[in-house]
Amino acid sequence: MVYTPDFLRRLYADMLLIRRFEERAAQLRLAGHIPGFLHPSIGQEAVAVGACAALEPQDYITSTHRGHGHILARGADPGRMYAELFARREGYNRGKGGSLHIASAALGIMGANGIVGGGIPIAVGLALALTVRARLAGTGAPTAGVAVAFFGDGASNQGVFHESLNLAALWRLPVVFICENNLYGEFTPQHRHQPIRDIAGRAVAYAMPGVVADGNDVLDVFRVVGKAVTDARQGRGPTLVECKTYRLRGHYEGDMGHYRPPDEVAAWQARDPVVTFRERLLAEAGFTTADLEEVERAVEARLEAGVRFALQAPRPAADEALEDVYVETHDGSALA
Amino acid sequence: MTPRRPEPQAADRQLSYAAAIREALEEELARDPALLLLGEDIGEPGGVFGVTQGLWQRFGPHRVLDTPISEAAIVGTALGAALAGIPVVVEIMFGDFATLAMDQIVNQAAKLRYMTGGQVNVPLVIRMVTGTAGATAAQHSQSLEAWFTHTPGLKVVTAATPYDAKGLLKAAIRDPDPVLFFEHKLLYTSRGAVPASDYTVSLGSGRVVREGTDVTVLAYLAMVPRALAAAEAVAAEGISVEVWDPRSLVPFDRAGLRRSLARTGRLVIVHEAPRRAGFGAEVAALVAEECFDLLRAPIVRVAGLNAPVPYAPELEDAVLPGEARIVQGIRAVMAAGRP
Ligand SMILES: Cc1ncc(C[n+]2csc(CCOP(=O)(O)OP(=O)(O)O)c2C)c(N)n1
């Protein structure tokens, strides 16, 4: 490995933060603190962390219904995320979004999305805006940043996926399409929802590079997405990156995932991206158990503080329901 | 806030509705170097109705972007750019095709500000070419404005004259919220006075198009000239009709309509869209709730029949409200109720 210890520690810390954030969220949901849906990304942490490690602060992402990982990897505060899950006013979306819609414009997170595929063209538009900004700045750079669209294997069957790839390739926009192929769309395995194995192959139809990464290996994701991001920054246009991975839990919290063969689950469990990366850090990168335990304690402390913050956060007042429908708040009467 | 101008003067230039819209786009492109136009065939060809003619040549392919035939991606891309602070005007070649982009309009654009707790603005205008131009049949003739008025988070504008079209479009472009801007294909060649100066017409400001004292006819888009013709027709019978155009359906000028009803006490609502659950139903309910004290007769709706728009001209005439049906509506409201 040629990476610095700080970088590797950060990757591990971020993956662990996502894992523990979602494990706690599941418990908090059982305890009645979360009124809405929860789609855990446990098992897919390497995709979020590897991809976001290739991004800069000025870049944008759009995310999916399974977005906690992307959002945390982009630097979001777990406390404000929990507050949003608890539907509190201090949540990122002031209690109006919940898990499906967490956004932070300040961090370039233009929303998790309740509509499968819905964020894909939005990322194309963010990329377009970044080229406009570069043009207005007059520096001669092709773009002021890169946009990343995260989506699943199921989303790649949506028409808007194809429309968006075509448009982005045609206009050579600085966008990276990252498909997290976790082998299921809800309860339906990949072989029953699409006649292909490699979604990356769909890039051929748009004369765009289509590449496959090992989605359970954070460094492989970082390498492959990093190349795509560099190409986008330099004006070489979009790439479709497929990350092969697996979600280790049900589609949503409460789904036991009985539709999946136990040996398949076990095989992927053995490739748990957080566990295998930890082993690699110990075996190949000179980390000691004590080093990693320190990281683990820091993650726990952050989450502990986050939960405490969120539990104490006030609930929204009923009159906030009419705020932010429009920029100038209208009075909410029938035709306002 | 906005440079309001007096109503057009006789001395002002006469422009077509299409030219007025083009002029609004042209002036806004010049005013704001970030503004983009997106749509099918809007670039070098200048749009199927010629509205964007010359803009590609003047501002270049980076400002006036010809897109593939991909309505969902067009609106989604425009929305993404808008979220990043780049305002965009989209042309939907026929408003009927907005169905292909419904997710991006209704679930995304309309909701993003709200769902994010006010973190983002959506400076997006979607120009919707609406209504029939005669024998355009059921998939190229619809008036879908009520769908969008039913979706909180969207603003809905209906311009009837060249003056209004230019001023309302400029206001829509400068508005930080998503605006659906309805343009009637039948109006594109209609002409009217348009000041050369920079002016806007605020969204939510209705207009008395013709003053009267017996009955208010609420009409928008292509029904405005038709309502005016009906008003002239009944004037000979001694009925004084006020024609009132809301100019935007969301926001809606409730105070303006109330003022008109205070003068007339009777209301006929006219729209091309089907009657059932049309915008007229909303207006009728609103007036019943808020202006019942002013009403001298039950409200009459003159609207499209609850049928798709047919191709055959005689069938189309039967389905869509013409001058004769508006006249009937006016006579009916005059015959009913209290003196
Ligand atoms: C347009 C749309 N259709 C259906 C759904 C219901 N739904 C939510 S998640 C999901 C599966 C998505 O699969 P995939 O894109 O592979 O993502 P994954 O859940 O595997 O992360 C479905 C069908 C939805 N939210 N939106």
pLDDT at A1: 59
Checking if the pLDDT of A334 tops 60, the result is no
Mean pLDDT score, B287-297: 97
For ligand 1, the distance from its centroid to the CA atom of residue B106, given in whole angstroms, is 18
Instruction: Please provide residue B162's backbone torsions phi and psi, each rounded to the nearest 5 degrees.
Output: -55, -40
Q: Is B150 a catalytic site residue?
A: no
B65: chain A residues, CB-CB within 8 Å: 171
Q: For A2-16, what is each residue's pLDDT tens digit?
A: 899 999 999 999 999
Q: Does the ipTM surpass 0.85?
A: yes
Q: What percent of chain A has pLDDT over 90?
A: 97
- Which residue among A125, A126, A335 places its CB closest to the CB of B286? A335
For ligand 1, the distance from its centroid to the CA atom of residue A105, given in whole angstroms, is 24
A215 in ligand 1 pocket by Cβ < 6 Å? no
Instruction: Please provide residue A146's backbone torsions phi and psi, each rounded to the nearest 5 degrees.
Output: -130, 145
pLDDT band (50, 70, 90) for residue B237: very high
Checking if the pLDDT of B10 tops 50, the result is yes
pLDDT at A333: 44
CB count in 10 Å sphere of residue A298: 13
Which residues, numbered 123 to 182 in chain B, qualify as contacts with chain A under a Cβ-Cβ cut-off of 8 Å?
A: 149, 152-153, 155, 175-177
User: Best of A42, A65, A115, A247 to mutate for ligand 1, by most ligand atoms within 8 A of CB?
Assistant: A65
Cβ pair A125:B76 closer than 8 A: yes
Cβ pair A125:B78 closer than 8 A: yes
pLDDT at B8: 76
pLDDT band (50, 70, 90) for residue B320: very high
Which is nearest to B300 in space by CA: B210, B207, B218?
A: B218
Strands (DSSP E) contained in chain B are 13-16, 36-39, 64-66, 88-92, 124-130, 155-158, 179-184, 191-194, 207-210, 215-219, 241-245, 248-250, 267-274, 300-304
Residue nearest to atom 3 of ligand 1 (CA): A116
DSSP 8-class letter at A137: H
Q: For A295-318, what is each residue's pLDDT tens digit?
A: 999 999 999 999 999 999 999 999
Interface test with A, best of B119, B218, B282 (most A CBs within 10 A): B119
pLDDT at A329: 60
User: CA–CA separation, A135 vs A156, rounded Å?
Assistant: 31
Residue partners of A306: CB distance under 8 A and separation at least 6: A21, A77, A78, A79, A80, A81, A82
pLDDT at B2: 43
* Helix (H) and strand (E) counts in chain B: 12, 14
Q: For A188-224, what is each residue's pLDDT tens digit?
A: 999 999 999 999 999 999 999 999 999 999 999 999 9
Cβ pair B81:A126 closer than 8 A: yes
The helix (H) or strand (E) run that includes residue A71 is helix A68-73
Q: For A271-287, what is each residue's pLDDT tens digit?
A: 999 999 999 999 999 99
Mean pLDDT for chain A? 96
- Which residue among A101, A126, A333 places its CB closest to the CB of B115? A101
Mean pLDDT score, B244-272: 98
Checking if the pLDDT of B1 tops 60, the result is no
Cβ pair B72:A163 closer than 8 A: yes
Q: For A115-157, what is each residue's pLDDT tens digit?
A: 999 999 999 999 999 999 999 999 999 999 999 999 999 999 9
Angstroms from A103 CA to nearest CA on chain B? 6
Stated pTM of the model: 0.96
Checking if the pLDDT of B338 tops 90, the result is no
- Which residue among A60, A105, A126 places its CB closest to the CB of B116? A105
User: CA–CA separation, A89 vs A72, rounded Å?
Assistant: 19
